[in-house]
Amino acid sequence: LYTAPDSCEGRCEEPYSEEDECHCSTECERHRSCCGDYHRHCQPEGFSRSRDAISDEDLLHISEQLYKADHNKARPTDITINPQYQASPDETGDQEDRSPQPLYKYVNEELFSKPTYASFIKLLDNYQRVTGREEDVTAEELREQDNFLKEVMKTELMKKLFAFLQKKNRYGSEQEFLADLKEMWFGLYSRGDGEQDSSGFEHVFSGEVKKGKVSGFHNWIRFYLLEKQGLLNYFSHNFNGPWDTYPDVLGLQFSWDGFYKEVGSAFIGSSPEFEFALYTLCFLARPGRTCHLSLGGYSLSIQTYPWTKSTYGNGQKYIATAYVTSP
């Protein structure tokens, strides 16, 4: 009998095969490779007992908790932005600079001396932005990765995320969580012809250039630092979130060294650990699907995709991308 390759109908407990588009055995949650209808059809016992499933309600609750725990976010007086022109959907692709002024009028750079910000910023210059060029990871860069993870894990926000995931049977210890974070975010894979040229962190936070266009690049700190250096030109925005404090969300059009980004959504004024936590949460709970959250009483959705062409550990997936979806 033919069954849809992306469904678990009639496939529960089917043995794992690398050739399958998605999987339906109890191990698929650990590997983040379950089909979208896995819980509906299989309702398995063991690791994926229904009480360990992360419900939509769980996501709304934990995201509000993480929002409240972002003690390192910018205060309203720390950042002044100048969004200028709001582009309509049919204008985002025309590569026209409709905003003569920079996006950032003022950023209190004392923020950047906080340990999570300082360790995050150190990571940003570790990458070759053009896909297809092998990444040469030095011992110093590996130390910088470890230091960033160590600093974010000290925060109340990341401790809350770990406690939630541990309660849901995703991780047995903080060490296990930390080791998996390092692989899923910093593990290298190939977006080109076999070169180890990309990682989730590089794509999402630092940005890449692929086929003459900006790919990824969803971070406000990276944007501000490049704009300040004159390497990035803000064109317009197509979405401005409902928040009247930070973190806010913008959908952006910009040019990076002449390479264009049609819509680059980003949190504005959040701490590095806040973005890192939300993207991780959504990647673990809803890989490849829209993840519905709540921040300060407002709805927000994050889309993540796993990298499907290579795995690590026992078949686990790397992060291909993660970003806020704007309406």
Out of 203, 210, 237, 317, pick the active-site residue: 203
218 is catalytic: yes
- Output the CA torsion 323→174→161→270 (10° steps): -50
The DSSP secondary structure of 159-170, one letter per residue, reads HHHHHHHHHTTS
H or E element in which residue 147 lies: helix 139-153
31 is catalytic: no
Phi, psi torsion values for 41, nearest 5 degrees: -90, -35
| Beta strand extents in the chain (DSSP E only) | 79-81, 104-107, 208-210, 213-215, 232-240, 248-256, 259-268, 290-295, 298-312, 316-325
Helix (H, G, I), strand (E, B) or coil at 24: coil
**Residue 68 is a catalytic residue:** no
Nearest to 284 by CA among 169, 186, 199, 175: 169
Which single residue is written with the structure tokens 């080109």? 192
User: Cα-flanking dihedrals φ and ψ of residue 274, to 5°?
Assistant: -65, -50
**Among 23, 31, 261, 317, the one annotated catalytic:** 261
**Rounded to 5 degrees, what angle do the CA atoms 309, 323, 224 make?**
120
Query: What does the DSSP assignment read for 50-94?
Result: GGGS--HHHHHHHHHHHHHT-TTSPPTTTEEE---PBPPTTTTTS
User: In this structure, are strands 213-215 and 232-240 parallel, antiparallel, or unpaired?
Assistant: unpaired
Burial of 324 (0-12, 13-18, 19+ CB in 10 A): buried
Return all residues near 10 (Cβ < 8 A) that are at least 6 apart.
Answer: 1, 3, 41
* Longest CA–CA separation in the chain, Å: 63
CB 288 within 8 A of CB 306: yes
Active site residues: 203, 218, 261
